[in-house]
Copies of this chain bind each other. A is one copy, B any other.
Amino acid sequence: MFSIGELSRRTGVKVPTIRYYEQSGLMEQPERSAGNQRRYSVAALERLSFIRHARALGLSIDDIGELVELAADPERPCGEAHAIASAHLSAVRARIAKLRKLERELKRIVGLSDAGCLGECSVIHSLADHRYCASEH
């Protein structure tokens, strides 16, 4: 049985965040001590590790909620879990693609400015008018 602080130390998830996960239904309500303090089992520790890892991979609270449910039900987990993970993979790839475009554009804008500050500022100039952009965004 761990206190919330000990659970926090062991998982690296901050105390208020653990309470937030409980409030949003991601963590089960734990037992309480005589004085109303939370007392966690090893199972709760494992669940929180799972959540933390999935969050680190960028999955939403909702997605993780689904995965937690699937994990608890060995009858039908695999296909649905796979779908959630691969949908997320697509989303991550889309975000990478978009950020790469931004990177190119910013590089161009910053590079112009490096080339010499004659007259007006080219950073501000580039930002002011989309027509000077190399690509869409």
Contacts and interface: CB of A to CB of B under 8 A. Distances in A.
Interface in A57-108: 57-58, 67, 70-71, 74, 77-79, 81-82, 84-86, 88-89, 92-93, 95-96, 99-100, 102-103, 105-107
Interface residues of A, number: 49
A121 B89 contact: no
A124 B49 CA distance: 12
A123 B78 contact: yes
Interface in A122-137: 122-124, 127-130, 133, 137
A110 interface: yes
10 contacts: A53-B127, A58-B99, A67-B123, A70-B124, A78-B122, A81-B124, A82-B113, A82-B114, A88-B106, A89-B110
- The 5 closest A-B CB pairs, nearest first, are A81-B123, A77-B121, A78-B121, A78-B117, A89-B106
Given A46-B128, A49-B129, 19 more contacts: A53-B128, A57-B102, A58-B102, A77-B120, A77-B121, A78-B117, A78-B123, A79-B117, A81-B121, A81-B124, A82-B123, A85-B106, A86-B110, A89-B107, A89-B110, A92-B103, A92-B106, A96-B103, A99-B99
